Amino acid sequence: MNSVSGTAPSPPVPARAEDRRLKMLGLTLILIAVGAMVWLSSWVQWPIAPVRFAGLALGSVLLVNLLAIGLLVTAAGCAKTHTAGPPERRRWALLLRLTLANILAPALLFAMITDDPTADAEFKRQGWDTALSVVLMVLVVVAWRLWRRSRQYGAIDADEAMRRDPRPPVLYLRSFADDGEALFGEPSKWLRRGANLAAPVNAEQEIADILDAIGPVVAIGKPGEPLPELGAARLYVADDQWQAKVGELMRKARLVVLRVGSTPGLLWEIEQALERLPRQRVVFALLGGSVVAPAVLARLAPVLGPSFEAALPEALPARWTGGLYRDPRRRIGGLVCFAADGSAHAVAVRRWPLQWQDFGFMLLARGQAAPLRRAWREVFSRLGLGTRDAARSRGLAVTLALVFGWFGAHWFYLGRRRRGIVYLLMLPLFLAPMFLAFFDAYRFLWVDRGEFDTRFSAPRVAAAPGA
C-alpha cells in the first residue's frame, strides 16, 4: 500500500538550536534550589518559634521561585519556549507560571515541617494533617490549572505552526462541544468534569501529540473563545469564511481526522471530506463521551459499512457492577481508516492490552494515551505513513527518570527494555538505580534533541509498505 500522500514520508523537521549555556545556568539554579530546600528542612525543630517559622515560610517562597526560574531557563536552553503571540500574552504566560510556583510554596513548607517526626506526630494528634492535606491537594489542582492556562497564553496559532514545520499539515475537525474533554470512555458526566479539572492532558492533546509524527496538527478555533484550547494549533476565521478555509486546509492536508460529534458544521465537514478527498487521506474517530447527532450517524453508516458498528464505543453493562468495574478490554472508541480500494477498516480503542512504550503515560495519570497510541500505530501502519509512533518526549523521559527512575520507567518509555530490566534487577540496591536515574535525567537534558533521539531513544519501526 502506498503512503497517504502518494510520496515518500516527509523528512523530520530540523530542531531549533539549543543553548547549553542556558541549560547550565538553569540546571545550576535548580540544584541550588533543591540543595537549599534540603538544608532549610534541617531548621525544623518542634515546637517552632514564630521567628523560625517566618524564616521557613520566606525561604519556601524564595526557593520555589528560584526553582521555577531554573526550570524556565532550562526549558529556554532546550528550545522549548513556544510562545509566539503578542508580548502581553507572553508576559501573562510567564506571570502565571511564577504565580503557580508561589501557590505551591505552602506545600513545600508543609513537607519540610512534617519531615520532622515530632511535628508530624503533633499534627496527627491535633487532627490537622487531614485538613492540611486537603488544602494542599486543592492548591495543587489550582496550580495545575494555572499551568494549563499559562500554556494557553503561550500557544502558537496554526499559521505559525505551519511556518515552523513545512510538512503538509494534519487537519483535525471536531464538534466544539468536545473541546477540553479529558475522558472519552466514561458515561458519567461528574467523572468527566472531575477529569477536565485535574487531568494532566485532555484527549485532543493526546491525539495532537500522536499526529504530530506526520505533520503539524491544525484546527479551526471556536469563535469567541478568549484563549485557544490545548491540542491542535488553532486558526480563527470569520463565520462567512470558515468553510472556504476548511476546504483550503483539506487540499493541503496529508491527513484529515474527523472526531465524530453532533454539530451541523461537522456534518458539512464530513460531507466535504468524503466528496473531495481520496479515502486514504481521511480517518474517522468515534470516541465514547461524544454526543453524535442522528444525521451524522445516518450519513456515516452506509459509508463505513460493518466497520461503523465495529468502531462504536461499547456501552457499560446495565448491571450495578457497571458503575464499579470498567473492563479494560471494553471498546471505548474506534478509528476508521480506508484501504486503497476504498474499503473501511475499524481499529478498536481499548485500554488493554498495554504495550511497554505506553507504560510511562499510565504512571503520569495519562490514561487516555495508551489506548489511543496503540490504535493510531495500527492506523499508521495500514496507511503506510512511514512511522508507528510520535517522537518520544524528552520532557516526559526526564520526568519519569526523576519520579519513577529507580525501576527504569524512563528506559521502558524510550523503548530500551534491556536497560529498564537492569534497573529492575538493581532494585535491592535502591540508592544505585535512583542515582543512576538522576544522572540519566541530567544527560537527557544536556544533549541536543537530535543526540537524545540517537543515543537514548530506540528507533521507531517504519511501517511496512504492504501493511
pLDDT one-digit tens code per residue, 250-295: 999 999 999 999 888 999 999 999 999 999 999 999 998 777 888 8
Average pLDDT over residues 232-238: 95
**β-bridge partners, 72:** none
Residue 238: pLDDT above 50? yes
Is pLDDT above 70 for 44?
yes
pLDDT tier for residue 130 given thresholds of 50, 70 and 90:
confident
pLDDT of residue 14: 47
pLDDT higher than threshold 70 for residue 5: no
Query: In what helix (H) or strand (E) does residue 134 lie, and over which residues does it extend?
Result: helix 128-153
Average pLDDT, the chain: 86
pTM of the model: 0.84
User: In the numeric block, which cell numbers belong to residue 328?
Assistant: 479494560
Which of 83-97, 226-240, 344-358 is the most confident on average?
Answer: 226-240
Tell me the backbone φ, ψ of residue 256, rounded to 5 degrees: -115, 120
Of the candidates 158, 179, 172, 167, the residue with the CA atom closest to the CA atom of residue 84: 158
Note the pLDDT of residue 195.
75
* Cβ neighbours for 407, distance < 8 A, ≥ 6 positions apart: 420, 423, 424, 427, 433
And the C-alpha cell for 60? 519556601
How does pLDDT run across 308-363, given as a tens digit for each residue?
A: 899 988 887 766 666 677 788 899 999 999 999 999 999 999 988 888 778 777 77
The 10s digit of each residue's pLDDT in 416-464 is 989 999 999 998 887 888 999 999 999 999 999 889 988 998 765 443 3
Q: How deeply is 148 buried, as exposed, middle or buried, from its count of CB atoms within 10 A (0-12, 13-18, 19+)?
A: buried
List strands edge to edge, sheet with 217-220: 233-235, 217-220, 170-173, 255-259, 282-287, 331-338, 344-350
Cell of 277: 478527498
pLDDT band at residue 11 under the 50/70/90 scheme = very low
CA torsion, points 48, 54, 55, 57, in degrees to nearest 10? 100
CA distance 389 to 377: 6
Q: How confident is the model at residue 60 (pLDDT cuts 50, 70, 90)?
A: very high
Question: Which pLDDT value is given to residue 302?
Answer: 92
